[in-house]
Amino acid sequence: MRRVTRRAASLTAVCLVLAAVSCASAQSVDSVAAGVEQLRHVVGAWDVVTGFLNADGNVAQSVKGSYTFEWVVVDKVVRGRSDTPSFNRAAGILFYVNEGKGIIEMVSVGADGHLWVMTGPLDGETRATPPTKMPDGSTLQLRFTRYNVERDRFESRMERTTDGGATWLPGNHQVFLRKK
């Protein structure tokens, strides 16, 4: 009887471990699917209005621009470009799913050569940069949140902090409309 009980206990323990692994895998599959869906959604051409915000959240300046995104590796990597003609500014963008780390990242670099890396969870709509030392010696961190997502429209909010995240100030608000 004792031998059967030990075997049953061992078998039960193995089943519990397998069940836990199976649940973890199902959660990560759902997370990966959410990240991939974000990439699928942004592929295409977008007209964008960016409102640069004062500290009180009021619009200081509004400009029109465009973003385009296309697949590099389907369901994994998207490349893009943003253009803001009134500033004579363009930036290159890479947007990708990193299943191994459970993150989705977006990197952007413009004419100034500064590479911004924005990271967030696969199943989330918020990404943040690491704290970045600026030329004047201050430390800046940015946080981007995509929301009000519809088939041919979404909004993005950028916030900034210079105190390690104790306070976040408005940076900009963007409205993306898919080009017809």
Q: Is the pLDDT of residue 150 over 80?
A: yes
CATH number of 35-178: 2.40.128.20
Question: Measured in whole angstroms, how far is the alpha carbon of residue 90 from the centre of its chain?
Answer: 20
Helix, strand, coil tally for the chain in percent (to 5): 25, 50, 25
Range in 24-33, 55-64, 92-101, 152-161 with the lowest mean pLDDT:
24-33
* The pLDDT of residue 59: 96
Residues forming beta bridges with residue 160, ordered by sequence position:
142, 169
Whether 26 has a pLDDT exceeding 50, the answer reads no
Whether the predicted pLDDT of 18 surpasses 50: no
- Looking at the predicted structure, is the pLDDT value of residue 25 above 70? no
What are the pLDDT digits (tens) for 3-17?
A: 445 544 443 343 333
What per-residue confidence (pLDDT) applies to 32? Answer: 86
| Residue 28: predicted pLDDT | 62
123-153: string of b/e by CB count within 10 Å (b at 16+)? bebebbbeeeeeeeeeeebbbbebeeeeeee
